[in-house]
A and B are shown apart, each in its own frame.
Chain A
Amino acid sequence: MDVTVIAESSENGLHPVTAQLVGAAVAIGGAPTVLCAGGWGVEDAVSISGVAKVISVVGDCFGSFDGGAWAEALSSASGGDVIIAAATPAGREIAATIAAIRGIPIVQDVTGLAPGISVTRPIYSGKAIESSTVGTPCAITVRANAFDAAGEDGSAEVSTVNQSADVAVAVREAIAKASERLDVAEADIIISGGRGMGDPANFSHLEEIADIIGAAVGASRAAVDTWDEIPHGMQVGQTGKTVTPSLYIAVGISGAIQHLAGMRTSKYIVAINKDPDAPIFGVADYGIVATWEDALPALKAELGKL
């Protein structure tokens, strides 16, 4: 099986999810070719175990993001039976466009893969799981943390392809992020606050804990809608971001179905809520019935001891 993996990479290098994409490729019996857009992350991609080769695709179009142009440039090297990308906003757009260029189907946000090709994915925001059979060639995007990462003892060879495409999306203005904090979509640990935090200033307690454990700070929609200080980029849920961190800590969040839609597949969930009947406790691995005013200082102190 000839599998092409589109690396998740940027000026900042290779995103660790790329090793999981290789893990997914191996699950369907492929020794994948890994494509690095703009040449980013090549040094790290070569050492992922199981990678057959790495292709660095370089061209002017990679100067700013235009998913259509990137897909056009990458498609010349994406001739495999199966194309695998990460189910991130950019990964989804690039993979969907490459699939359209090649006229092949795409299945997005897959959490299970077996030779055949059998795919499983959550549908209706995780309220059901769909299993289907997909003919090749096809494109697949996989959800972060659904596959084990491949190891780091590879030594694939690298080739470079010069391939650009016409850029149709011109960046006029880049607005710096309000904060330099880690994005919830990128983080392996997330601590989120809801309306129960009472005041946006109280999110500073969440930030202090986030700094100790290297977490991102997220929020419920009620928090985002109620307080201008809490930007939409922090929102987790149906109309925010879908996240699958190793650890999700929900503080003062009731656990409405639309919030659960964005975080219920997190590996471990901790809930801190003063209401013992809050639905968030239904999905929590560890539930603490307490006010955040009591629980957060204790949490900060305990984490500080580690």
Chain B
Amino acid sequence: MTIAVLLKQVPDTTSKISVSGGRVDESAVSKWSMSPYDEYALESALQLKESGGGDVVAITCGPARAAKMLTDAAAVGADSLLHVLVEDLNALDSTQVQAILAAAVSHCSAQVVFCGKQAADTNAGSTGPGVAHLMGASCVTMVSEVASEGDSFTAMRASSGGDQRVAVSAPCLFAFDKGTTELRRPNVRGIMMAKKKVAETLGASDLGVDTSASSVSVDSHSPPPEKPPGQRFEGVDSVAVVVSKLRDEANVI
């Protein structure tokens, strides 16, 4: 069984984002990391492999800098790496990204796909369901845990009514929420082995995907609107003042 894990490299959650000339200045991002939900997808894929066997292939679609993230995935145990080189992901619309990733999954002959429920840069969450549809796979989102059960899989997912254990069979895709699992850290041996691992690198056109005509064009980026400075109060006596302001000034209670 081959488990494909879809990973995206994003600015680390602690990184400052600065805008210059109407665009986010990517060169000013101090640190790039694997998107947090993708880390849970990867961890769970590695656990599934350990309990049920198989290979984990880490796939990313992104610019050259994302190679580092694939090496990080190898360091914790991904068996093979596939990098679909796209210099400017912002220039693609959701249909194109999904077509690339679905073709990459099929290139790896994977029937089972793990990914994050959304990436921490756009926070969209379109990729999992879209790729699942293109693969003809069942899709489970908000997943915290997956186990194999013969030819099928069971997953824990969060829903507004409480958690549910659901069953699906391959082909299937699981989009991860933050799980209950601890993330593993790479050890020295893993890091050494990962340095030797070479990612297969393809272009979108190698996968037969046309990236020319995006139907979404980014006009500009801007810093978030400045919030006027808030009002500050000291001590317990101010609670009554704040409550009356919440009622009369803000009208929220």
Q: Do A and B come from one complex?
A: yes
If the complex has contacts A105-B215, A129-B222, are A89 and B141 also in contact, measured as CB distance less than 8 A?
yes
What 1/0 mask marks residues of chain B from 230 to 244 whose CB sits below 8 Å from any chain A CB? Answer: 111111111110110
Which stretch (B49-57, B66-74, B124-132, B186-194) binds chain A?
B124-132
If the complex has contacts A105-B216, A134-B216, are A129 and B253 also in contact, measured as CB distance less than 8 A?
no
The residues of A that contact B16 with a CB separation of less than 8 Å are: 127
The answer to whether B158 and A233 have CB atoms under 8 Å apart is yes
The answer to whether B166 and A169 have CB atoms under 8 Å apart is yes
CB of A140, distance to nearest CB on chain B (Å): 11
A108: interface (CB < 8 Å): yes
Give the complex CA separation of A213 and B253 in angstroms: 7
Within 8 A of B (CB), among A257-300: 257-258, 261, 267-270, 276, 281, 283-290, 294-295, 298-299
A122: interface (CB < 8 Å): yes
What 1/0 mask marks residues of chain B from 135 to 176 whose CB sits below 8 Å from any chain A CB? Answer: 000111110100000000010001111111111110010000
If the complex has contacts A123-B221, A171-B164, A268-B250, are A298 and B231 also in contact, measured as CB distance less than 8 A?
no
Determine the main DSSP class of B at the interface with A.
mixed
A28: interface (CB < 8 Å): no
CB of B238, distance to nearest CB on chain A (Å): 6
Give B125's nearest chain A residue, CB to CB: A92
Other-chain residue from A129, A213, A286 in contact with B230 (beta carbon distance below 8 A): A286
The answer to whether B130 and A247 have CB atoms under 8 Å apart is no
Give the complex CA separation of A93 and B243 in angstroms: 39
B24: interface (CB < 8 Å): yes
Residue count of chain A within 8 Å CB distance of chain B: 87
The answer to whether B239 and A288 have CB atoms under 8 Å apart is yes
The answer to whether B123 and A288 have CB atoms under 8 Å apart is no
The answer to whether B160 and A186 have CB atoms under 8 Å apart is yes
Within 8 A of A (CB), among B1-54: 11, 13-14, 16-17, 19, 24, 36-37
Residue count of chain B within 8 Å CB distance of chain A: 83
Give the complex CA separation of A282 and B122 in angstroms: 24
The residues of A that contact B230 with a CB separation of less than 8 Å are: 269, 281, 283-287
B196: interface (CB < 8 Å): no
Name A residues whose Cβ lies closer than 8 Å to a Cβ of B: 10, 65-68, 71, 89-90, 92-93, 96-97, 99-101, 103-109, 118, 121-135, 138, 168-177, 183, 185-186, 189, 213, 232-233, 235, 238-240, 242, 246-247, 257-258, 261, 267-270, 276, 281, 283-290, 294-295, 298-299, 302-303, 306
18 A–B contact pairs at CB < 8 A? A93-B129, A97-B133, A99-B95, A104-B95, A106-B130, A125-B120, A129-B223, A132-B217, A169-B138, A169-B168, A171-B166, A174-B163, A281-B230, A285-B230, A286-B233, A288-B235, A298-B236, A302-B239
Name B residues whose Cβ lies closer than 8 Å to a Cβ of A: 11, 13-14, 16-17, 19, 24, 36-37, 93-95, 98, 117-118, 120-130, 132-134, 138-142, 144, 154, 158-169, 172, 178, 180, 214-225, 227, 230-240, 242-243, 245-247, 250, 252-253
- Smallest CB-CB A-B distances: 10 pairs: A168-B138, A100-B133, A127-B17, A135-B215, A298-B239, A108-B124, A177-B162, A105-B93, A100-B130, A96-B129
